[in-house]
Amino acid sequence: MHRTWLTIDCDDIRHVPINQGHPTRSNSKTEGRKEQLSQQFRSGMLGFDKWMDAHQSPITLFIIADMFESKVFSEWIDSIITKFGNRITVGCHGLTHRSWSAWPEDISGFSTALTQASEIIQQNVGDNWRPWFRAPGGYIAPWMAKVIAETGFTVDTSINPSWLVKKKSGKGNNWNKVRQSIEESGVIEREWLNKWSLPVNGPALSMFPLSVVSKLAWRKIPQILSVKEALESPENPSFNITTVYWHILDHSRKNGNWRPPISKHILSLDN
């Protein structure tokens, strides 16, 4: 059985690597106030709600725990869980948006961050929580796999297996080494969709010419997971899953009318 897993990262503008979490790319002197959401993110929340109203397919949100320092964000999460129920599952996108593999190995710090993030997110989303992890920015090195497993995660979905972003696997590493470490840790890996070894998710959706390649790839994605399947199948190794992702911020594009390039015939209208 082959299905598509729809996933969305909940980063605000203050989280992007130019502003936060990277030893060389982060140039901003301030990471922004955690309790305040950008206007773009607020617009993205409204756009997401509108898009969800137009279909019945399930979504997994990967949330950075420090987003819950915003009352507006916390209330929004409560509202969409109440409204959409089991169509929403929630995984962990870190405590902050620290690009762990770009820094020296820090097992203790990473373990503490994952433990704290899990506790915060679970407290805020209850039964919609899932022990699924996506490394901020897709920065994941082999040393991180054991920590991910030991902190209770059953699924990792951090690998973007493109040669363009091999540096994100850490100095001296590659995606094969990351895959091996994840497998040895007993965690299920759900890599991101690529086409011709090029990225087709997240920022690639709006970066020419990768945006053209992305649309070609997304036109051929398999049927989307049903609501029931999405509750558990990402951690079921017998399920062949294609993983795609974008950002809540994307929904602020086109005056809040942006939509992921998914063919309407595979978005469930009756799930």
The string of DSSP letters for 35-64 reads: T---HHHHHHHHHHHHHHHT----EEEEE-
Tell me whether the omega of the peptide bond preceding residue 209 falls within 30 degrees of 0, making it cis: yes
- List the helix and strand counts (H, then E) for the chain: 8, 9
At 233, which CATH number? 3.20.20.370
pLDDT recorded at residue 103: 87
Distance between CA atoms of 245 and 234, rounded to whole angstroms? 14
Distance between CA atoms of 54 and 76, rounded to whole angstroms? 18
In-domain check, residue 241: yes
In-domain check, residue 160: yes
Stated pTM of the model? 0.94
Kindly report, residue by residue over 112-165, the tens digit of the pLDDT: 999 999 999 999 999 999 999 999 999 999 999 999 999 999 999 999 999 999
Q: Structural domain of residue 148, as residue ranges?
A: 2-266
How far is CA 240 from each of CA 45, 229, 263, rounded to the nearest angstrom?
30, 12, 20
What is the residue whose two structure tokens read 């020296």?
104
In-domain check, residue 18: yes
In-domain check, residue 124: yes
pLDDT band at 266 (very low <50, low <70, confident <90, very high): confident
The amino acid sitting at 255 is N
Number of domains forming the structure of the chain: 1
In-domain check, residue 271: no
pLDDT recorded at residue 34: 61
DSSP code for 127: G
The amino acid sitting at 171 is K
